[in-house]
Chains A and B, each alone.
Chain A
Amino acid sequence: MTVTIGIDVGSGAIKAALFDIEGDKIECLGKRVERIRQSDPLQLAEEICDDLLGDGGMERGDVAYIATTGEAETLGFATGHFYSMTTHARGAIHLDPEARSVLDVGALHGRAIKIDERGKVLDYRMTSQCASGSGQFLENIARYLGITQEDIGPLSEEADNPEKVSGICAVLAETDVINMVSRQVSASNILKGIHLSMASRLVKLLRATKVKEGAVLMTGGLALDSGLVAAMREAMEEQKIVVTVESHPDSIYAGAFGAAIWGAFRHEKLARLNQLAAVS
């Protein structure tokens, strides 16, 4: 039995997961997500890690490998760090073995990752700096419209006449939205419009990675936004890409899961190397 923990420090939220891994038997013992808001991310990460261990009646010493991902290279007590695309790829395969692409959409970034059946990163594309297609932006708009995060998806799905936002800049897009409100465009249509604009950009990213087969698993916080998932499906259809778009209730944990799983892999590899060293 190898117990590992994966900690994903994002720009909006921290995700952590505790795993027990035995060969192909991968079991999740617990998971946590917490918004960062005003706190110090690394400190928060440490708290979450300890809470999670506490829930499982464990201490740091019981864990074989503490793996970080996201913006946590400097987290002191970690055993090792993997980069986000590596972990999201592995996490995605764990959540959905059929996935051959990962679309990770978080608070600030969007990434399309092409993977193989083992979770190896084959190609990727990231949104450039200028991108209004992010969770943060949606959150701002939702607040402006007086809508809760959970309502974004359902409302967007009700849209009958969505209007796309122009531009690549969140600031200018915000003004666009204000203009729409002033023209009495409904919140549904505005949200759907944003989702569609985001989707068309994300599909572009996916296309650039040349996905051809299998499913796309959406990961990151926005995978929970059913409106965006629906818009993605529409955009894929419109662009005639015959790949299904999936989401998973645990999508937001993909990075943390992947980190924990890689942690176990690495732990075993290191153990083997040590054995070899001891023998020789």
Chain B
Amino acid sequence: MRCFIGIDLGSTTTKAVLMDEDLGVLGRGITNSRSNYDTATAVAKQEAVVDTRLTLFRRGLADDAGIPDVDDFMDRVAQYFRLEQFLEQLADLHETCSRFVEGGRFQNREKEAMETLEIIFGRIGDEAPALYAPGAARKSDFFRDLAGSRFMQIGGDVAKLVGLPFDLLLNVYDKSIIEVENRPPSGDLTGKFGRALDRVLGEMPDLDADTKKMHATLEKALAQELDETYVVGTGYGRVTLPFPKEHIRSEILCHGLGAHMMYSGTRTVLDIGGQDTKAIQVDPAGIVENFQMNDRCAAGCGRYLGYIADEMNMGLHELGPLAMKATKSVRINSTCTVFAGAELRDRLALGEKREDILAGLHRAIILRAMSIISRSGGIRDQFTWTGGVANNPAAARELEKLVRENYGDVTINIDPASIYTGALGAATFAQRAVINGEGAAS
């Protein structure tokens, strides 16, 4: 089938959306951005393909009446697929780390170091299934973060026990993760899907399903040809994407159109990404009328939250929920990312509670965004929030509050897939380029 792909190479994450020729979204994929843009693009694209396969598999299953709760079933398949993926990368990481240990840094303690790695990775591996159990909360979706935080924790403890300097191990890890991350993903989907399906089926012995038929359905979904008809790239790194110029659109246009595709009533779009904040006004057809961006300064964007999370030794996903527990909001004036840690320590030293400070930080981010929105012309009904930070419930709460206070009763759209908006817009441009023949314009 003909597929249209949008790639959003962001400053912190790279997103891909795969679309069919009727503008239906087949799959979405995301990975953390990294120095190798080609790999980032390839990984995101592959993730979108995985998602697409799941969609196709699900469509296949829908014809099959054997499963009572298809949603639950598919969730499990997806989770176990991720688990398989995680284990595959973990093995790669282990092996890479081992290679670095041989480098001579450990001064004859290589053996101990190897054994330590053995223990660390063994434990991470053992913990992995729990990470992907149904309903489990993860710190992040990216291998780098997941493996990294566990390595820090377990590694620190184990190193202490063994009497090895943890800094050295950490350095080995730092070196290895870069290599692992920048290796193009292994192409073997069939195996991982198969194993995932088997795990699920094994877990649901009561399921009255024909295993063989199920596998056949899966194979069919995997065999379906996906034809990359047209790819459009956007995002912070778009100029470096290995695409010809006519395959590239500005982020502003993509976010505007993407938001329009998600909610056709959208007139004002706010996008808070890793490094920038944009406010975009669009007309009823999703065409950009006006926009404002933060300039020069990365204060109060997604990376800011990243620094805070690092400082607090928490996962990005955990910040929002903790802030929601606040009983008051500490006033934070500066959202300078670089000094985020210092500001935080300052407040902690003054005896403020973590959750209250976090609430203040979230409010500060949103206040900044409100300023940029105001600069672009304010909020018109409907208002759609896009970009990764929209996933953060505390930020969303502050935003809603401030929007209501300042602009009254407007519809506020926050899609769970908000982070894919740019890629969705790009995919839509790709589809239009072929279907409407709009590609030639430049």
Contact = CB atoms under 8 A, between A and B. Distances in A.
Direct contact of A and B (CB under 8 A): yes
Interface of A: 11, 38, 40-42, 71, 74, 108, 129-132, 134, 136-137, 143-149, 169-172, 174-175, 178-179, 181-182
Given A147-B171, A178-B34, A11 B337 contact: no
Contact of B275 (A11, A132, A175, A179): A175
Contacts of B34: 178
A137 B175 CA distance: 18
Nearest to B179: A146
A182 B37 contact: yes
B275 A130 contact: no
21 contacts: A40-B348, A71-B349, A129-B334, A130-B338, A134-B338, A143-B170, A144-B174, A144-B178, A145-B178, A146-B171, A146-B176, A146-B177, A146-B178, A148-B171, A149-B167, A169-B298, A170-B338, A171-B275, A171-B338, A174-B303, A179-B35
B36 A182 contact: yes
B339 A108 contact: yes
A148 B338 contact: no
Interface of B: 11, 33-37, 167-168, 170-171, 174-178, 236, 240, 275, 296-298, 301, 303-304, 313, 334, 336-339, 341-342, 345, 348-349
Given A169-B296, A172-B298, A131 B338 contact: yes
A148 B168 contact: yes
B34 to A, nearest CB: 7
Contact of B167 (A134, A148, A170): A148
Q: Which 5 A-B pairs have the closest CB atoms?
A: A146-B175, A181-B35, A171-B298, A146-B174, A170-B338
Given A171-B275, A182-B240, A132 B338 contact: yes
A268 to B, nearest CB: 32
Contacts, number: 76
A130 B342 contact: no
Contact of B337 (A41, A143, A170, A179): A170
A170 B336 CA distance: 10
A84 to B, nearest CB: 14
Given A129-B339, A132-B338, A149-B167, 9 more contacts: A11-B341, A134-B338, A143-B170, A146-B176, A169-B298, A169-B337, A171-B303, A175-B275, A182-B37
B37 to A, nearest CB: 5
Nearest to A35: B167
Given A130-B336, A169-B296, A171-B275, A11 B178 contact: no
Contacts of A71: 349
B155 to A, nearest CB: 14
B175 to A, nearest CB: 3
B339 to A, nearest CB: 6
A182 B339 contact: no
A108 B342 CA distance: 8
Contacts of B349: 41-42, 71, 74
B190 to A, nearest CB: 31
A11 to B, nearest CB: 6
Contacts of A143: 170, 174
B57 to A, nearest CB: 35
Contacts of A171: 275, 298, 301, 303-304, 337-338
A69 to B, nearest CB: 16
Nearest to B301: A171
A131 B339 CA distance: 10
A38 B354 CA distance: 13
A178 B338 contact: no
Contacts of A172: 275, 298
A124 B342 CA distance: 22
A179 B345 CA distance: 31
Given A42-B349, A170-B337, A172-B275, A178 B35 contact: yes
Contacts of A174: 303
Most buried by B among A132, A146, A171, A182: A171
A146 B35 CA distance: 13
Contact of A182 (B35, B298, B303, B345): B35
A11 B342 contact: yes
Nearest to A167: B296
A159 to B, nearest CB: 18
Contacts of A131: 338
Nearest to B35: A181
Contact of A137 (B174, B177, B301, B338): B338
A82 to B, nearest CB: 19
Nearest to B346: A71
A13 to B, nearest CB: 13
Contacts of A40: 348
Nearest to A148: B171
A74 B348 CA distance: 14
A132 B296 CA distance: 13
Contact of A169 (B170, B177, B297): B297
Contacts of A175: 11, 236, 275
A11 B33 CA distance: 29
B318 to A, nearest CB: 15
Contacts of A41: 345, 349
A162 B231 CA distance: 36
A237 to B, nearest CB: 29
A52 to B, nearest CB: 22
Contacts of A146: 171, 174-178
A237 B275 CA distance: 36
A172 B348 CA distance: 27
Nearest to A171: B298
B364 to A, nearest CB: 15
Most buried by B among A137, A143, A146, A169: A146
Contacts of B174: 143-147
Nearest to B39: A182
A238 B139 CA distance: 48
Contacts of A137: 338
Contacts of B298: 169, 171-172
Given A169-B298, A182-B240, A129 B345 contact: no
Contacts of A132: 338
B251 to A, nearest CB: 15
A42 B349 CA distance: 9
Contacts of B178: 144-146
A113 to B, nearest CB: 21
A196 B297 CA distance: 22
B326 to A, nearest CB: 21
Nearest to B306: A171
A172 B337 CA distance: 10
